[in-house]
């Protein structure tokens, strides 16, 4: 059975989510990704990014990331 760590979102981002600071969260995600290619990010980082986007209901960006990464990771 696969167990996912549901508390992998950093506290500062959780606070921003609770405060509705969507733009600041997106800037923080860009900072985390940096100049890396999405396909080169680790699975924990990708899970954290996707979890964050799910909490924000930003499906378009989440789906684009999934479509770019899944074929590479499988």
Convert 9-28 to b/e letters by CB count within 10 Å (16 or more is b): beeebeebbeeeeeeebbeb
Give the pLDDT confidence score for residue 2 in this predicted structure. Answer: 44
| 74 has a pLDDT exceeding 70 | no
Q: What is the pLDDT of residues 16-51, one digit of tens each?
A: 999 999 999 999 999 988 888 888 888 888 898 999
Quote the percentage of the chain above a pLDDT of 70. 86
Cα 67 to chain centroid, rounded: 14
Q: How confident is the model at residue 71 (pLDDT cuts 50, 70, 90)?
A: confident
């Amino acid at each position: 059975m696969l167990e996912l760590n549901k508390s992998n979102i950093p506290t500062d981002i959780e606070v921003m989510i609770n405060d509705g600071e969507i733009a600041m969260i997106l800037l923080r995600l860009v900072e985390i990704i940096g100049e890396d290619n999405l396909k080169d990010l680790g699975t924990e980082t990708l899970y954290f990014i996707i979890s964050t986007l799910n909490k924000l209901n930003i499906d378009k960006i989440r789906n684009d990331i999934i479509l770019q990464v899944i074929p590479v990771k499988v």
